Structure 1
């Protein structure tokens, strides 16, 4: 299908239909940049057809260089071409490339891709215009809008590290863990989709795990192109191009259409603290330093320092180059967003990042964002401007504006700077405190000086947590999770391995406590996130070093083990569907009405909802090694106890009226009750 011609709300992206565009703000090169363009023959040898100078744009659009494909000599027929830009002796990838190709010039080996590698961009020339295309020349279609999406207060995200989403349990020091693709992710939602590298995984090719699980938000770790494989996607190099190793833009659109057809949003991670892209390579050649900063070389520049850290911690490029966010290119220059010369200068990095945001939200229907490592970005003004731009793009999808409850810009900053919410820099923060509290209560402990009761209270209602300068005021401001891809630090590995680390080896005990953890998570106040594989208690086969990020591949084979993991998956699936549909779990109201002091406060009961026109949900949890004695356990002050129709959700069992508020509990068990009916 031929690609459509979107009208981008960023002028530089619209220009790329008519021209090859090289944007170099604040730079006066000694000679014009050049376009190097050609094709690869059947032997994989590049045949250069064009080496031609760019022309500076007129109308005072300083920093903008253009080359009309109609002016190329020799004139070109329609076709698919590979190209680079050259400035002086430096040849670089088009910083705004929509497609890059590592399948040429010995670039295919992912372990050989060094930082300086500059893959060619790919473009189709058709009817004297430039059209985005995949490497094979296919032109991606526009994604279909979702049939419906959940409001943020009923959102259950699934954090999926796409680039290492397959694995086995064989011991192999050279295990290739970076083999998942967009097509494989589609197979997690569509049982008829064959996938690609998942073809041998029975639980994938015979089912659709994530459709079955019932999540309504897919959060992909960075889907933009990174040069290496095996690095879980956070070394972004080509911000406007889907990751080459994950698949094509067309395959990503197919994935988006699949999940949109099921009412599931796509969210993607964005890395803006540092980059590995072409402007960084130009920095090495002495040009384009307006985009990047060397914090060690500029100790007096506030842009060199992280935000919300102590001791003046320098920003870290982690092998890349930190983006420069304070400096503005002064004078009358080209504005990539509005397309007009502006007299008061431009923020190069701001404009660059907002342009690729426009690309992703327009071409891939992105329904939310997670902004990585906000402290290392360092500049709250930029973060707010980026968030505001995302919202304007979302609202523009509908002539009447978008539903404000169905889009979310999430920030990841584990020190929980609540001021970022108060100042409108972001919509929600990762709630790292819930992870730590959950790990504590699974061992019957309090967290960070709190007793068990207050640890549970703050776990189930994030608004009770007193943070630096305030607290969460609404559940949609907190992203709650039990595990994430960040395993660096104390008690942050997978739940299965966390249990082993604490001497709990009986699988029944492990399964019971993981069920308890999910009952707490999926009934808590907040936006919920499940890290891939935790829904069946996957374990770490390769990575056990807590000094590193999670690099162990998800082993989806474990989901259908015929035993406790399969039962756990069914348990979590049941609660996910309850969470996404039950009105009481979409409001903030929480009331802890029972703390059993006779048992050291280790049995607690609380109510979610019950006001605001909702029928209540009651959770009763036992944080001890002992079953309740006798045939029943009385919970006083049970709300609406005389109302008929109560049922226990986790076991899908109706509760006789005489047993409402009296059912016994096993050790480390939570029961969830309601009389709400779908």
Structure 2
């Protein structure tokens, strides 16, 4: 299966070791073997230890034909292998499948950076085939029709750590009595598939409260937190070690392909989270202790004069942080073999940026094999090089266009970046298509407490929530709703008022569950009717809460307790409410355009009652959505008159959140209760 990337296409005919800019005293070697027939993963049988061959005219490229190995390989057999360089044994940096079961590495405590799991490959018909640990060769995700997928302005993204697809109770071993239990995350790609398909059987469960919840919720974009392999087990996946391989603990490439195909058939796009600020990969060790000689990674403290050592690519600022890994080196070139084009020889050397080429190659793997429909790029300030980010985005768009024969719909692919200073010039400069809208979260949380945020009064706090284009940011403002990803909560809980909504409200003195339900519903009206791309963090759709202690210095450690969704009470009611709004958001034309008008601010109530419209006119694509919201604890039980309510004389108005028709005489004059928002439209889907 061709990738149109030279180093990836060569891997079907050869073992490939790319060592740009590295002089070696002896050729690297391939160490290959199988596990014993009794199935014990502790009995590795070494069969081959054979040197690679340097490719004439391709400096840095080492190849080994599997048909030249001695003893010869057996057709149809699955092999495990490592690369050896001097006294160092490492994982293939471009491994498509790794196996931690070797020597008991399934134990999370054994997963230090020194661990180098073997790569898995099948030898068949004289070629090398990527396969799962069990030998299954995964098929590529079929390309969905563009018409079946949502446009960016009609997406509702669900942010999910894959392992949170299933939570389990485990006895806390630190408690000698055995009485204490904690929730641990044990989900897999197969379990995520079961969140969408009632007929799918998850890997760790058959049927429970979480089964097919995401199909029921109606989201149409799934963002998996980094699905590439990371060494820690039961963690977030941000310590990426093997960029081309699906995470061993989350399942196989075949299961990931099934997940992607399953959701694509439901009109759901798959986003993947990518970490390129730092890595825990094999190249960190291959180049030795002298980090200045490493063409892939750097130590910012050892190179204070290097602009690549600083956040956002500037000197004199904050140094980049490897967070236990090694920052990628982006300002570095070597002459030799180009792994992307295959060009570059000793007579006409090609100037190559190794880290750029490496990351664009794994992007190709994920786009081509798993049908990725969008990307979220993590911690861009810590990446440091906006030139690289721009190059990465350009390659992603090129791959997307190739997917549809050069005639791709530009509204159905998106590159989102996390840069919390929110520099809009990353959008205007072509580095990104969208940014995480960090300010939106803070404004929304203030609003559901009846508070203003920052330097704005309450009216402008809401105005900037409803239409993010009104916000003045670093370098300008958003020009289109697809440029801003809005969220109430994310996986990052570090800092003030960033914990789960349930816990945030409880910490703010809102402890009665009926009051929490009211505020959460109001928050979701804001999220799902405002300009921007809404993102729901897993579990917020039914106000899940933190069961373990909240450590604001860390990411959220608690997996979702999906059993709460079917509590038969207020949480189930909240889920039904959010699902109704989610399906409305994904379908209603007016919520896919930017036209917004706040036409009513009630000064007599301190500006805490506002009304706004999205869309407008009588055209089918612009039949308005009108929201009337009460951000106070005052019930208006008789009727609340909204002056200038648009299109009052048009028949067919309905209130969306309760799915009821509104009599003509009630338009613009219904009761409005404390912390309530009513959503009206005469659009009929």
User: TM-score range with shorter-chain normalisation?
Assistant: over 0.9
Shift of 1:311: 6.2
Output the CA distance in 2 between the equivalents of 1:219 and 1:72. Answer: 42
Q: Is the deviation greater in 313-322 or in 603-612?
A: 603-612
Residue 421, structure 1, aligned to residue 427, structure 2: yes
Contact 2:183–2:559 under 8 Å retained in 1: no
Residue 472, structure 1, aligned to residue 482, structure 2: no
Shift of 1:111: 2.4
1:662 to 647, 669, 677: 669
1:82 to 80, 83, 103: 80
- Aligned position for 1:3: none
Output the CA distance in 2 between the equivalents of 1:177 and 1:639. Answer: 50
Q: Secondary structure at the match of 1:225?
A: strand
Shift of 1:344: 4.4
Contact 1:494–1:534 under 8 Å retained in 2: yes
- Aligned position for 1:209: 213
1:529-608 paired onto structure 2 within 5 Å:
529-608=535-614
Residue 632, structure 1, aligned to residue 629, structure 2: no
| Per-residue CA distance 1:4-54 (angstroms, 9 max, x = gap) | xx2202111000001000000000111000000000102331111100110
1:282-321 paired onto structure 2 within 5 Å:
282-286=286-290, 289-307=294-312, 312-321=317-326
Output the CA distance in 2 between the equivalents of 1:473 and 1:310. Answer: 30
- Aligned position for 2:624: 616
Output the CA distance in 1 between the equivalents of 2:103 and 2:664. Answer: 73
Residue 406, structure 1, aligned to residue 404, structure 2: no
Output the CA distance in 1 between the equivalents of 2:408 and 2:299. Answer: 40
Output the CA distance in 1 between the equivalents of 2:94 and 2:290. Answer: 20
| Per-residue CA distance 1:76-123 (angstroms, 9 max, x = gap) | 111110000001100000000000000111211122211110000000
Q: Is the deviation greater in 374-383 or in 188-197?
A: 188-197
Q: Secondary structure at the match of 2:103?
A: coil
TM-score, normalising length: structure 1? 0.96
Q: Is the deviation greater in 266-275 or in 309-318?
A: 309-318
1:232-631 paired onto structure 2 within 5 Å:
232-286=236-290, 289-307=294-312, 312-329=317-334, 331=335, 333-341=336-344, 343-611=349-617, 613-628=621-636, 630-631=637-638
2:35 to 24, 35, 40: 40
Distance 1:176 1:670, change over 3 A: closer
Output the CA distance in 1 between the equivalents of 2:159 and 2:5. Answer: 30
Shift of 1:177: 2.2
- Aligned position for 1:92: 90
Shift of 1:176: 6.2
Shift of 1:312: 1.0
TM-score, normalising length: structure 2? 0.95
Output the CA distance in 2 between the equivalents of 1:173 and 1:605. Answer: 54
| Per-residue CA distance 1:406-442 (angstroms, 9 max, x = gap) | 0000001111011100101000000011100000001
Contact 2:98–2:245 under 8 Å retained in 1: yes
| Per-residue CA distance 1:436-491 (angstroms, 9 max, x = gap) | 00000011011112111000000011100001220000000000110000000010
Output the CA distance in 2 between the equivalents of 1:169 and 1:183. Answer: 19
Q: Is the deviation greater in 105-114 or in 576-585?
A: 105-114
Output the CA distance in 2 between the equivalents of 1:541 and 1:171. Answer: 14
Shift of 1:222: 0.3
1:139-288 paired onto structure 2 within 5 Å:
139-147=137-145, 148-167=148-167, 172=172, 175=182, 177-199=184-206, 202-204=208-210, 207-286=211-290
| Per-residue CA distance 1:98-154 (angstroms, 9 max, x = gap) | 000001112111222111100000000001100000000000012122351000000
- Aligned position for 1:22: 17
Output the CA distance in 2 between the equivalents of 1:668 and 1:19. Answer: 64
RMSD: 1.5
Output the CA distance in 2 between the equivalents of 1:343 and 1:554. Answer: 52
Output the CA distance in 1 between the equivalents of 2:426 and 2:415. Answer: 12
Q: Secondary structure at the match of 1:466?
A: coil
Q: Is the deviation greater in 443-452 or in 117-126?
A: 443-452
Distance 1:122 1:286, change over 3 A: farther
Shift of 1:164: 3.5
Distance 1:181 1:312, change over 3 A: same
Distance 1:25 1:73, change over 3 A: same
Contact 2:168–2:185 under 8 Å retained in 1: no
* Unmatched segments (≥5 aa) in structure 2: 175-181
Shift of 1:547: 1.2
Shift of 1:398: 1.4
* Unmatched segments (≥5 aa) in structure 1: 1-5
Output the CA distance in 2 between the equivalents of 1:285 and 1:588. Answer: 53
| Per-residue CA distance 1:542-594 (angstroms, 9 max, x = gap) | 14111111111000000000000000000000000000000000000000000
- Aligned position for 1:102: 100
Contact 2:166–2:191 under 8 Å retained in 1: no
Output the CA distance in 2 between the equivalents of 1:8 and 1:139. Answer: 16
Contact 1:165–1:177 under 8 Å retained in 2: no
Output the CA distance in 2 between the equivalents of 1:187 and 1:128. Answer: 37
Output the CA distance in 2 between the equivalents of 1:404 and 1:459. Answer: 26
Q: Secondary structure at the match of 2:638?
A: coil
Output the CA distance in 1 between the equivalents of 2:496 and 2:271. Answer: 28
- Aligned position for 2:53: 55
Distance 1:523 1:308, change over 3 A: farther
Output the CA distance in 2 between the equivalents of 1:314 and 1:306. Answer: 6
| Per-residue CA distance 1:507-548 (angstroms, 9 max, x = gap) | 000000000000000001011100000000000001411111
Shift of 1:173: 7.3
Output the CA distance in 1 between the equivalents of 2:424 and 2:162. Answer: 30
Q: Is the deviation greater in 537-546 or in 515-524?
A: 537-546
Contact 1:518–1:572 under 8 Å retained in 2: yes
Shift of 1:168: 5.7
Output the CA distance in 1 between the equivalents of 2:47 and 2:290. Answer: 28
Residue 64, structure 1, aligned to residue 87, structure 2: no
Q: Secondary structure at the match of 1:396?
A: helix
Output the CA distance in 2 between the equivalents of 1:93 and 1:407. Answer: 33
Distance 1:195 1:439, change over 3 A: same
Output the CA distance in 2 between the equivalents of 1:13 and 1:438. Answer: 46
Shift of 1:264: 0.5
